[in-house]
Amino acid sequence: MDRAMLPRQNTFAGLSLILNRAAERRDETTWINEQASAPNARYLLLDAAGEAFMLRDREALRWLDIREREQLIREAPASFLGLINATPHFMLVLDESAPIGSLEQALDARRMSLRSAGLQLAAEEAGLFAYAKGLSHWQREMRYCNRCGASLELIAAGHRARCTNPDGAHLHFPRTDAAVIMLVEYKGACLLGRQAGWPPGRYSTLAGFVEPGESLEDAVRREVAEEAGVIVDEVRYHSSQPWPMPASLMVGFIATASSPEITLCDRELEEARWFTPQQIIDGLADGSFLPSMALSVSYQLLAGWLQLRAGLDLDALVADSHPR
């Protein structure tokens, strides 16, 4: 792949560079308890809706230490996230009856959603927030066994759920739904679409979920054909991005169309059209074009394509179109 098409680190990605998930030790109850009571243990606090507690005066997560955890929310079970430089990191999730206002005051904190905080947090903290939100969503949704209906209990430091039915004791694991997201190009132009409910001028790359028995590449070809009637031949991997909103993994691709003909097929899109780099420049300048939010891999796909095909910096173009 051309080096210019190689992505910058996608938001929420790259945790493996700093976090040791220590998955092999999640069943070691004694070790997990030792980590949870360690003087340097840190706790990420989420409310019942998956919003994180952040510092009131800075764009950073409001981590709790062991003393604060024991004094304020001892009853909330801790899920192990992993180790960063030998420092144990855990997640705490409040239930719906928790005194949110009192906790915000005691911690001098405010709450923020992952979508809002993603670009404001440092990369490390954004990734940890995404990890915790995805895990907490699964824990919240998986309360009953889908095989027998019995209640589930969390084990493995919050990473597995075990059926309480003594006749089955089925295990359930966190799941991630794979979705493909793709920038399709044809002779110097890229295919972008918009949905009816989006802000005026907002365009994004096409995307869709992978179906059973389908490869990622086949999913790209099917989704583009279903949404825009465009036939794709070559499909090249670009990058991936955790997207726990609520439980997806976005797998990004660059694809090449065999013809430019567009036919909206499944009514998911209000419009789909080809954009040249110059049309994007002009649209940003006059306000008729808005790229997808910089939080998403869709933005990175477009940024890489503009850099390769026209030597353009999408960040600079967007900044110039929205002067302070």
Domain boundaries along the sequence of the chain: 15-141, 142-174, 176-314
pLDDT at position 2 over 50? no
CA angle 249-197-236, nearest 5°? Answer: 35
163-178: pLDDT as tens digits: 999 887 899 999 999 9
Q: What is the share, in percent, of the chain residues with pLDDT greater than 90?
A: 92
**Residue 177: per-residue pLDDT:** 97
Q: What is the pLDDT of residue 324?
A: 47
Q: What is the average pLDDT value for the chain, to the nearest integer?
A: 94
- For residue 65, name the pLDDT band (cuts at 50, 70, 90): very high
Q: Band of the pLDDT at 1, cuts 50, 70, 90? A: very low
Lowest mean pLDDT among 28-37, 161-170, 233-242: 161-170
Phi, psi (5° rounding) for residue 317?
A: -65, -45
Q: What confidence tier does 3 reach under pLDDT thresholds 50, 70, 90?
A: very low
Considering the entire predicted model, what is its pTM? 0.93
pLDDT digits (tens, 9 = 90+) for 71-102: 999 888 999 999 999 999 999 999 999 999 99
CATH topology of domain 15-141: Nucleoside Triphosphate Pyrophosphohydrolase (3.90.79)
| pLDDT tens, position by position, 253-308 | 999 999 999 999 888 899 999 999 999 999 999 999 999 999 999 999 999 999 99
Neighbour count for residue 236 (Cβ, 10 Å): 14
Identify the band that residue 8 occupies on the pLDDT scale cut at 50, 70 and 90.
Answer: low
Q: Residue 280: which residues within 8 A CB-CB, separation 6 or more?
A: 289, 291, 302, 306, 312, 317
Digit-coded pLDDT (tens) for 184-215: 999 999 999 999 999 999 999 999 999 999 99
- pLDDT at 57 (0 to 100): 94
Tell me what pLDDT residue 323 has. 58
Asked whether the domain spanning 176-314 has the same topology as the one spanning 15-141, the reply is yes
Distance CA 65, CA 76 (A): 14
**CA–CA separation, 9 and 238 (whole Å):** 11
Predicted confidence (pLDDT) at residue 231 exceeds the cutoff of 90: yes
Long-range contacts of 165-172 (CB under 8 A, 24+ apart): 170/145, 172/142, 172/145, 172/146
Superfamily of domain 176-314: Nucleoside Triphosphate Pyrophosphohydrolase (3.90.79.10)
pLDDT above 70 covers a percentage of the chain that reads 97
